[in-house]
């Protein structure tokens, strides 16, 4: 039977709102909403449960003391009204919030709903578990009994749905603050949240569905963040005109390839060629490097920087930490050409104040592509501090170095010097292997050579690279054992497919 690929790619970009931005919307909309937003949220949860759980299955709703729990009580009440089996697990010994959440709890009990003190009281295993314990405002580790309820829920084979965010996940950063629920589906309200898409978020949230609850978010401040989708790049993904030549698509110079590290430079060069650069030259620090690549003889290889004709610089793959490497960086950073700086280029930059000032003074801001350890070196901090708030770290790097920054990792962050940022939703664990960063550098250099604006090139190169890895995994290649070089051909295939799909009158 032929293999059928399950590859899909996020098509639509959308805003990502932090806690304070969501709270600002709530402050305006909650007093005006009719029916109340809690009723709308509960109805959305009930619809999601019905769509995923066959009739007759028991739905167990874990309800906390605040408004998240109130949403859960409304959902349980609505499920009962629709003839579904639903019970609530919750403890409210005179504590908890009043107001709307308390009213939702009372309405559930008045409708004949059953509230249990813990999962041990269940007589049958649930078909679904709804996590309505804590929402976006929780900043502390979850304590008892709720931590034990989460542990119990994780051990069940039931379908799991999280309300707004999985309990225990920081909605702004994607960091688990302690015990954390893991969902198959997260139904999030008003707008999407960044923590669902970076760091621990993708492992905890499952599929994310956004329900605006009937509120038009465009009436409010949508902040500076976006979740990337293919639609953001449509204007630049067009088929090529017939009347072109190799000079139409730019000349990329890759600088790196120190002794025993030339493979990194070759990977970057191959990626640049395969995704559309007209010419690629490798300037290698290894004096014994071959004068051409036997695998890709189209690459021009040498030990000198061409005097003219270069359009884009990619500096860092296999550059090393030698004095000649530092001299090359000092020579190239002031260049007026677009620049991608990666790997050893970043490590050398982190310890050299003169190079840092040269980078900040460039006429065109560079693209920096650090992984968390490189980012920590550039910021003079620890990796844990970077990962605790990846968005803030990427923004600070972009501000400090006046550069466009791709902070790699689960849910890579792309940040610009003006404070805008985006999270890339493509990619998979197969990319945790050697050489992936070199391929990304080559992709970015290729896009710049073809005339993509620097901020858009940073976003699309990251999106394309992750999507290439996703395509391979969908076709049965990886994630275990996925090689960086394998993503190059997949990226070429995707950029051609997407360009043809977006064909417009030329």
State the DSSP string of 241-305.
PSS--GGGG-EEEEEE--TT-HHHHHHHHHHHHHTT-SEEEEEES-TT--SB-SS-TTSEEESS-
CB atoms within 10 A of CB 234: 14
Inform me whether the pLDDT recorded for 2 exceeds 50: no
CB atoms within 10 A of CB 375: 28
Q: pLDDT tens, 354-388?
A: 999 999 999 999 999 999 999 999 999 999 999 99
Q: What is the mean pLDDT of residues 161-171?
A: 97
Report the binding-site residues for AMP: 408-412, 437
Percentage of the chain lying above the pLDDT 70 cut: 97
Q: Assign 3-class secondary structure to 57-81.
A: CEEEEEECCCHHHHHHHHHHHHHHH
The whole-angstrom separation of Cα 392 and Cα 384 is: 13
Percentage of the chain lying above the pLDDT 90 cut: 89
Q: Is the link from the previous residue into 479 a cis peptide, with omega within 30 of 0?
A: yes
Backbone angles phi, psi at 421, to 5 degrees: -155, 160
Report the binding-site residues: 67-71, 131, 135-141, 164, 167, 264, 318, 371, 408-412, 437-438
Q: pLDDT tens, 332-353?
A: 999 999 999 999 999 999 999 9
Residue with tokens 């109130």: 70
pTM of the model: 0.94
Beta pairing partners, 61: 88, 130
pLDDT band at 98 (very low <50, low <70, confident <90, very high): low
List the alpha helices (DSSP H) in 129-230: 146-155, 201-205
pLDDT band at 10 (very low <50, low <70, confident <90, very high): confident
Q: pLDDT tens, 300-323?
A: 999 999 989 999 999 999 999 999
- Helices (runs of H) and strands (runs of E) counted in the chain: 16, 18
- Residue ranges and CATH numbers for the domains of the chain are 18-222 (3.40.50.10260), 240-501 (3.40.1190.20)
- For residue 334, count CB atoms less than 10 angstroms from its CB and return exposed for 0-12, middle for 13-18, buried for 19 or more: exposed
pLDDT value of residue 69: 95
Report the binding-site residues for K(+): 68, 131, 167
Q: pLDDT tens, 429-474?
A: 999 999 999 999 999 999 999 999 999 999 999 999 999 999 999 9
Report the binding-site residues for (6S)-NADPHX: 67-71, 135-141, 164, 264, 318, 371, 438
Q: pLDDT tens, 271-310?
A: 999 999 999 999 999 998 887 778 888 999 999 999 899 9
CA distances from 439 to 44, 271, 276, 490, 492 (A): 42, 6, 14, 12, 12
What letter does residue 171 receive in the DSSP assignment?
T
CB–CB of 369/342 below 8 Å? yes
Backbone angles phi, psi at 253, to 5 degrees: -105, 120
Q: What is the mean pLDDT of residues 47-73?
A: 95
């Amino acid at each position: 039977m032929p293999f059928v690929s399950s590859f899909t790619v996020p098509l639509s970009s959308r805003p990502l709102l932090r806690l304070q931005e969501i709270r600002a919307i709530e402050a305006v909309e909650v007093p005006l909403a009719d029916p109340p937003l809690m009723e709308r949220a509960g109805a959305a949860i009930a619809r999601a449960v019905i769509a995923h759980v066959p009739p007759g299955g028991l739905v167990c709703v874990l309800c906390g003391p605040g408004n998240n729990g109130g949403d859960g009580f409304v959902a349980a009440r609505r499920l009962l009204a629709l003839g579904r089996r639903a019970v609530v697990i919750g403890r409210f010994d005179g504590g908890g919030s009043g107001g709307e959440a308390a009213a939702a709890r009372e309405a559930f009990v008045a409708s004949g709903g059953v509230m249990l003190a813990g999962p041990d009281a269940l007589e049958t295993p649930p078909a679904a578990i709804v996590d309505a314990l804590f929402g976006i405002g929780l900043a502390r580790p979850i304590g008892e009994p709720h931590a034990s309820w989460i542990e119990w829920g994780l051990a069940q084979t039931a379908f799991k749905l999280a309300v707004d965010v999985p309990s225990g996940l920081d909605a702004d950063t994607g960091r688990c603050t302690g015990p954390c629920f893991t969902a198959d589906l997260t139904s999030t309200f008003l707008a999407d949240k960044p923590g669902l898409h970076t760091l621990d978020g993708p492992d905890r949230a499952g599929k994310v569905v956004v329900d605006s609850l009937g509120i038009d978010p465009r009436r409010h401040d949508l902040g500076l963040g976006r979740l990337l989708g293919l639609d953001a790049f449509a204007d630049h993904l067009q088929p090529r005109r017939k009347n072109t030549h190799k000079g139409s698509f730019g000349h990329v110079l890759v600088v790196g390839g120190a002794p025993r590290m030339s493979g990194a430079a070759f990977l970057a060069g191959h990626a640049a060629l395969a995704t559309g650069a007209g010419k690629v030259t490798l300037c290698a620090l290894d004096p014994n490097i071959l004068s051409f690549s036997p695998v890709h003889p189209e690459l021009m290889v040498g030990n000198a920087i061409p005097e003219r004709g270069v359009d884009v610089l990619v500096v860092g793959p296999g550059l090393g930490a030698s004095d000649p490497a530092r001299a090359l960086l000092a020579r190239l950073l002031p260049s007026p050409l677009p620049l991608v700086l990666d790997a050893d280029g970043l490590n050398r930059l982190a310890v050299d104040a003169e190079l840092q000032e040269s980078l900040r003074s460039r006429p065109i801001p560079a693209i920096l592509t650090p992984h968390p350890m490189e980012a920590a070196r550039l910021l003079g901090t620890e990796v844990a501090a970077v990962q605790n708030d990846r968005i803030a770290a990427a923004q600070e790097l972009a501000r400090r170095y006046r550069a466009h920054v791709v902070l790699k990792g689960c849910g890579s962050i792309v940040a610009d010097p003006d404070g805008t940022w985006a999270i890339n939703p493509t990619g998979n664990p197969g990319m945790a292997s050697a050489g992936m960063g070199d391929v990304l550098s080559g992709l970015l250099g290729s896009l710049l050579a073809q005339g993509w604006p620097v901020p858009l090139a940073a976003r699309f190169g990251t999106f394309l690279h992750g999507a290439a890895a996703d395509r391979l995994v969908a076709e049965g290649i990886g994630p275990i054992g996925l090689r960086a070089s394998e993503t190059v051909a997949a990226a070429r295939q995707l950029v051609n497919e997407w360009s043809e799909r977006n064909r417009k009158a030329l």
